[in-house]
Structure 1
Amino acid sequence: MDPDTEVQLDLAPFIRIYKSGRIERLVGTDVVPASVDPATGVTSKDVTIDPSTGVSARLYLPTTTNKTKLPVLIYIHGGGFVIETAFSPTYHNYLNSLVSQAQILAVSVDYRRVPEHPLPAAYDDVLAAAKWVASHAAGSGGPEPWLSEHGDLNRVFLAGDSAGANIAHNVTLRAGKTDLGSGMRIKGLLLVHPFFWGSKPVGSESTDPEPRRRTEELWGFACPGTTGADDPWINPLAEGGPGLEGLPCERVLVTVAEKDFIRERGRAYYEGLKGSGWGGEAELLESEGMGHVFHLLDPTSEKAVAKMERVVAFLNCA
């Protein structure tokens, strides 16, 4: 058989790897340019954060900026660590809408993806982006004028969906042990349908071995050096892990969806956080009757609009 057509690893609906080494991403490959969004007036532009790794970001600025500094959102896209980018139409449209409604400045990070760059590359990239944002604190003379002129680095939020939420959690935890600079404060963490897992089912999680096997196969593919499904990177509640009490933020919002196969992991994270001794305020939002990242697939639906309102309120907390 032709090694360029013979499948070596099939991780549909995300990716296929062929015996020749060819990589076929099945979805999430479209990109759109930065622009002035005609619907919201939000302006976006692309910047390079680290030329040595190619890590970049798309920045979003609302149209009605004034002398008041804006909260800064560091956003991390989902896609199982293997698909999507910060420049896809899905995330571009979502960030335009969120930035307009919340009146925030957003930094949507385009991190290196698996399999070309296995984990922890994505964690390292987003931490580098957080350090880059911190370099714009007052008096630091950071290179990006939008952040220097409009960003309030005392109100920085990290957020992500699915695998991006996994990254957001892990980077926020690492930030508590990293010197990001005295002028930056991580106020909140937003985890949207977070991709967490574990070897033993929690709550009403399915015990069907096949979906569990495929989930663990994806994780092992993304992180070849993993210790397994109870690696603290994928299971933040794992015994012997760093725990949640060290999260360096004041507020956490976890959102889950009733029909999402990883819903129980988000719930367990929320409960674990409340019982960890962490001193902040935790919130949980569950969208009844909805599936994984439904708000990205149908952003004008009633449940998506309600979810957007809750996220906006979270980002606008005093």
Structure 2
Amino acid sequence: MASTAANTAASADDSEEIEVDVPGFFRIYKDGRLLRFIGTDKLPAALDPATSVDSKDITIDPTTGVSVRLYLPPVAADQKLPVLVYFHGGAFCLESSASPAYHRHLNSLSALTPLIGVSVDYRLAPEHPVPAAYEDSWTALRWVFSLPDPWLSDHADLNRVFLAGDSAGANIAHHMALRAREESAAGVIIKGVALIHPYFWGSEPIGSESTDPAIRSIIEKIWQFVCPNSTGPDDPRINPLAVDAPNLASLACDQLLVTVAEKDTIKHRGKAYYEKLKQSGWEGKAELVETPDSEHVFHLFNPDTDKAKEMTKLLVDFFNKE
């Protein structure tokens, strides 16, 4: 009995041992549990009095529960608008399409462009490890092109469909643009892709990226946590510049915007992606924008600052491209 009690106590202690701690965001325990500090608050879909943008939630796959939040600005009966399919960030394990920051952001983009917003509520790790987020996002993208909802069938211009995402969402947008080329028979045609502070990584430091083993280990542990079957930091899903990653020339879009923030640990990955894209033989038009003196996804956390408003304008201008 004494031995059993000792083993139980040891197990209890092990369950509280921390593997990765990202203060203010989440904590991963060695037993595989995730404690979320942000991203659990949700706002209901509704008419937004500040922008006059209406929104609603639609479950698009009853077997998985995957849903999208649609946004529609004031629009004339016969008016066609560009469509933005948006993938939220959160390291594949935080946030949702109903998170206050994302709901506010999509309301703004929908009103200012104007456009129809489709914010994808993909399943999160660790409950649903990567590649669930990719599969859900592809399901949502194909759903958009089937025009299953009156907001889309009446007002969507399918010649102007844009993808965008921040952080992990930018990672997803990259992979959706690749998959659209790979599965061209699916009829998914993308006009442009905006990668906002993209969540990419790799085993070898690039540029002036941190060489601190502790920092690099944290990033790599988080990736392995959300994608347990990964081969590591050079898995093409997290490192689009890896030797065995698909050629960036395969991106199925005409225009691409990459944004990075000066104080962001992963900014060098976005810059390297842009340079590799230019060298790949891709025939589209790409742009790289760096925001000085700014942190990762600053525009979502502090949307009323001048820099956040500049970021919103940058995106609006991109989504208005013909």
Q: TM-score range by the shorter chain?
A: over 0.9
Matches within 5 A, 1:205-216: 205-216=209-220
- Aligned equivalents of 1:40 and 1:118: distance in 2? 36
- Aligned equivalents of 2:284 and 2:260: distance in 1? 20
- Aligned equivalents of 1:144 and 1:256: distance in 2? 35
Q: Which residue is 2:152 aligned to?
A: 147
From 93, 101, 106, the counterpart of 1:95? 106
The answer (yes or no) to whether the contact 2:180–2:189 under 8 Å persists in 1 is no
The answer (yes or no) to whether the contact 2:190–2:253 under 8 Å persists in 1 is yes
* TM-score for the superposition, normalised by structure 1: 0.94
Task: Report the count of equivalent residues.
Answer: 311
Look at both structures and tell me which one has the larger radius of gyration over its CA atoms: 2
Q: Are 1:293 and 2:304 an aligned pair?
A: no
In structure 1, give the amino acid aligned to 2:61: D
From 249, 263, 266, the counterpart of 1:259? 263
| CA gap 1:4/1:59 in 2 versus in 1, 3 angstroms | farther
From 194, 210, 228, the counterpart of 2:232? 228
- RMSD after superposition: 1.7
User: How far off is 1:33 after superposition?
Assistant: 0.3
Q: Are 1:166 and 2:177 an aligned pair?
A: no
Matches within 5 A, 1:27-38: 27-38=38-49
Secondary structure class of the residue paired with 1:245: helix
| CA gap 1:4/1:106 in 2 versus in 1, 3 angstroms | farther
- Aligned equivalents of 1:118 and 1:162: distance in 2? 17
Cα deviations across residues 229-266 of structure 1 (Å, max 9, x unaligned)? 11111110111211200001000000000011111100
* TM-score for the superposition, normalised by structure 2: 0.92
From 118, 130, 137, the counterpart of 1:107? 118
Question: Going by fraction, where is helix more abundant, 1 or 2?
Answer: 2
Q: Which residue is 1:68 aligned to?
A: 79
- Aligned equivalents of 1:157 and 1:37: distance in 2? 23
The answer (yes or no) to whether the contact 1:7–1:16 under 8 Å persists in 2 is no
The answer (yes or no) to whether the contact 1:11–1:218 under 8 Å persists in 2 is no
The answer (yes or no) to whether the contact 1:130–1:180 under 8 Å persists in 2 is no
User: How far off is 1:8 after superposition?
Assistant: 5.3
The answer (yes or no) to whether the contact 2:85–2:141 under 8 Å persists in 1 is yes
Q: Which residue is 1:131 aligned to?
A: 142
Cα deviations across residues 177-203 of structure 1 (Å, max 9, x unaligned)? 114644x52000000000000111111
Q: Which residue is 1:139 aligned to?
A: none
Name structure 2 gaps, 5 residues minimum. 1-8
- Aligned equivalents of 2:314 and 2:272: distance in 1? 20
Secondary structure class of the residue paired with 2:248: coil
| CA gap 1:10/1:65 in 2 versus in 1, 3 angstroms | farther
Secondary structure class of the residue paired with 2:276: helix
- Aligned equivalents of 1:213 and 1:18: distance in 2? 15
In structure 2, give the amino acid aligned to 1:266: G
User: How far off is 1:65 after superposition?
Assistant: 3.9
- Aligned equivalents of 1:206 and 1:16: distance in 2? 22
- Aligned equivalents of 1:87 and 1:152: distance in 2? 25
Secondary structure class of the residue paired with 1:166: helix
User: How far off is 1:17 after superposition?
Assistant: 4.6
Cα deviations across residues 34-81 of structure 1 (Å, max 9, x unaligned)? 011111000000001111111101000012344221101000000011
Secondary structure class of the residue paired with 2:259: strand
Secondary structure class of the residue paired with 1:206: coil
Q: Are 1:53 and 2:58 an aligned pair?
A: no
- Aligned equivalents of 2:205 and 2:33: distance in 1? 35
